[in-house]
């Protein structure tokens, strides 16, 4: 029988305060070495340390707020359950490895865990996607001597890699927007706060950035290396293991980007006219085939079950079980046509809520301020393009088109499946770097004269030609 008890509250011992600066100094020395080795050829590395500091600070702030302001939460459950595995490691390393790598099994649970080690929470062990977080953090907890805040620092550091690779990818194509893209990818408050603590979100955010950057590396720039392919597969596996709905939107989006990049290189208008419908029909078929092939791994998030999952999740999150910070986009039929009827309110919720008038606590206030910034940026783009040229602003550049289409589709998905603000602000962070980057790039394009805009697009396409093209070639004037 799987136990539900924990080992008590998080106790912060005096030795933790002594070790925190030591861990930070070690991380600083390693990160400084990386920065100093790269910065001469790659000036974008001037943001490497700042982004890492922001992420670690965000993780510590996340832990402090959840422990001392909210008095607990999922992060504490993950930590307490991870601590049980670490205790098992010290007692019997072989049993620890069995719990770490073997499938979830109640008999194994009863065999190896006891009151001496403590228990993994039943709701975490019973959900393979939640238990995956325990598998990921327990090795870090061993290195952190079971300290909550030292583990948080290590989680923040380890998951920084995927976000940094995403930033490097954007800078490759838009080196003149180095500072703006740093804000978009590394320094948005939600990314810093929700993407850094002991939760699923830091791992899924990092895996999303890693997956997209390696799609660019292998399929767009055709720099095919075994380690890049392996890294992309690991990132996709992590997304499927933790939050499969991300890959449901991300895979078709990245394939659209890859094929769109290829089509943009074709200069013959007739060939484009004939090729475009064929290519995108094939793309749709490929995406459906891949996602259907993964249906066993996706489970309730497979294409056949996704809509039922959306309806059930939305209904649950509107219930009183989740608390009072809820919103309602209205009822809809459990059909794709019924869901499409809620496209506008669901997408607006996914992209821009909570609004300022939705604020019920200090954490929501920061989210609302960030959303106001996003809304103002969107309005500015609509105004600058006079609406009639909005399509050109988005689709003239395949990376911008991918970023904003992924944002809209992901925003719709979380808006229609989520009715609780606390969940909403966490669920949206995988799309946030793409949303803000796409807005910055499109606004920059339309601040230039037409000839300069054309030259910039040509330079951006030339950046696909090799691994060193584009990066650091233009100094950031901002």
Instruction: Please state, in angstroms and rounded to a whole number, the distance separating the CA atoms of residues 432 and 246.
Output: 13
Per-residue confidence band for 353, with pLDDT thresholds at 50, 70 and 90: confident
Write out pLDDT tens, residues 424-441: 888 899 999 999 999 999
Number of domains in the chain: 2
Of residues 359 and 388, which shows the higher confidence score?
359
Is the pLDDT score of 3 beyond 80? no
What does the pLDDT read at residue 362?
81
Mean pLDDT of 391-417: 86
Show the tokens assigned to 129: 């996607």
What does the pLDDT read at residue 289?
55
DSSP state of 104: P
What is the H or E stretch that residue 224 is in? none
DSSP state of 144: T
CA angle 468, 474, 477 (to 5 degrees): 150
What does the pLDDT read at residue 123?
86
**470, 172 contact by CB (below 8 A):** yes
Angle of helix 160-173 relative to helix 201-215, nearest 10 degrees, comes to 30
Per-residue confidence band for 193, with pLDDT thresholds at 50, 70 and 90: very high
Of 401, 442, 425, give the one whose Cα is nearest residue 195. Answer: 425
What does the pLDDT read at residue 374?
94
Angle of helix 148-158 relative to helix 74-91, nearest 10 degrees, comes to 100
In the chain the first and final C-alpha atoms are separated, in Å, by: 60
What does the pLDDT read at residue 176?
86
What does the pLDDT read at residue 310?
59
Instruction: Please state, in angstroms and rounded to a whole number, the distance separating the CA atoms of residues 315 and 201.
Output: 23
Q: Is residue 109 part of a domain?
A: yes
What does the pLDDT read at residue 51?
96
- The rounded percent of the chain whose pLDDT value lies above 70 is 77
Of residues 157 and 322, which shows the higher confidence score?
157
Write out pLDDT tens, residues 118-140: 899 888 888 889 999 999 999 99
Of the candidates 143, 158, 173, which is a domain's last residue? 158
Is the pLDDT score of 455 beyond 70? no
Mean pLDDT of 332-357: 80
Which residues make Cβ contacts (< 8 Å) with residue 296, sequence separation at least 6?
302
Range from 27-31, 149-153, 196-200, 254-258 carrying the lowest mean pLDDT? 254-258
Q: Is residue 404 part of a domain?
A: yes
CA angle 268, 270, 275 (to 5 degrees): 95
What does the pLDDT read at residue 259?
81
What is the number of helices (H) and of strands (E) in the chain?
A: 25, 0
What does the pLDDT read at residue 422?
80
Write out pLDDT tens, residues 65-115: 888 877 778 899 999 999 999 999 999 999 999 999 998 888 899 899 988
Write out pLDDT tens, residues 281-299: 666 665 555 555 555 555 5
> Does residue 381 come out as left (phi exceeding 0), alpha (psi in the -120 to 50 range) or beta?
alpha
Domain hosting 365: range is 305-447
Q: Is residue 295 part of a domain?
A: no
Per-residue confidence band for 472, with pLDDT thresholds at 50, 70 and 90: very low
Q: Is residue 130 part of a domain?
A: yes
What does the pLDDT read at residue 355?
87
Q: What is the DSSP track for 60-78? A: HHHHHIIIIIS---HHHHH
Q: Is residue 278 part of a domain?
A: no
Which residues make Cβ contacts (< 8 Å) with residue 187, sequence separation at least 6?
50, 51, 54
């Amino acid at each position: 029988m799987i136990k539900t008890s924990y080992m008590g509250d998080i106790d912060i011992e005096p030795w933790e305060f002594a070790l925190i600066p030591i861990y930070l100094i070690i991380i600083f020395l390693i990160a400084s070495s990386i920065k100093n080795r790269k910065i001469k050829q790659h000036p974008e590395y001037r943001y490497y340390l700042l982004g890492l500091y922001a992420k670690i600070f965000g993780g510590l702030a996340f832990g402090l707020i959840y422990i001392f302001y909210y008095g607990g939460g999922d992060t504490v459950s993950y930590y307490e359950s991870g601590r049980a595995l670490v205790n098992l490691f010290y007692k019997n390393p072989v049993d620890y490895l069995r719990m770490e790598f073997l499938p979830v099994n109640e008999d194994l649970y009863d065999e190896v865990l006891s009151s001496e080690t403590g228990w993994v929470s039943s709701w975490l062990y019973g959900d393979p996607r939640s238990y995956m977080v325990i598998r990921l953090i327990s090795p870090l907890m061993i290195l952190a001597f079971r300290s909550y805040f030292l583990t948080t620092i290590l989680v923040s550091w380890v998951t920084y890699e995927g976000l940094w690779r995403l930033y490097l990818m954007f800078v490759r194509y838009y080196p003149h927007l180095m500072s703006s893209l740093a804000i978009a990818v590394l320094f948005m408050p939600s990314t810093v706060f929700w993407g850094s603590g002991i939760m699923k979100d830091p791992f899924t955010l990092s895996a999303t950035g890693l997956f997209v950057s390696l799609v660019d590396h292998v399929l767009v720039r055709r720099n095919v290396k075994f380690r890049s392919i392996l890294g992309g597969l690991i990132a996709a596996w992590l997304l499927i293991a933790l939050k499969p709905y991300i890959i449901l939107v991300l895979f078709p989006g990245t394939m659209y980007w890859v094929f769109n990049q290829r089509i943009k290189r074709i200069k013959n208008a007739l060939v484009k006219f004939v090729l475009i419908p064929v290519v995108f029909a094939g793309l749709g078929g490929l995406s459906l085939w891949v996602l259907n092939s993964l249906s066993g791994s996706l489970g309730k998030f497979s294409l056949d079950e996704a809509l039922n999952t959306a309806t059930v999740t939305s209904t649950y999150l509107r219930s009183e079980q989740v608390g009072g910070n809820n919103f309602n986009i209205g009822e809809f039929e459990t059909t794709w046509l019924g869901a499409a009827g809620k496209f506008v309110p669901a997408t607006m919720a996914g992209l821009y809520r909570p609004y300022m008038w939705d604020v019920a606590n200090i954490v929501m206030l920061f989210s609302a301020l960030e959303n106001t910034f996003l809304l103002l940026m969107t309005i500015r783009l609509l105004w600058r393009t006079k609406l009639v040229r909005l399509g050109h602003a988005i689709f003239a550049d395949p990376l911008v088109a991918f970023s904003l289409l992924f944002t809209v589709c992901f925003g719709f998905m979380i808006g229609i499946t989520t009715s609780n603000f606390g969940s909403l602000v966490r669920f949206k962070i995988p799309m946030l770097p793409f949303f803000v980057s796409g807005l910055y790039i499109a606004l920059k394009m339309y601040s230039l004269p037409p000839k300069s805009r054309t030259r910039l697009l040509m330079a951006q396409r030339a950046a696909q030609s090799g691994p060193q093209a584009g990066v650091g070639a233009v100094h950031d004037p901002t």
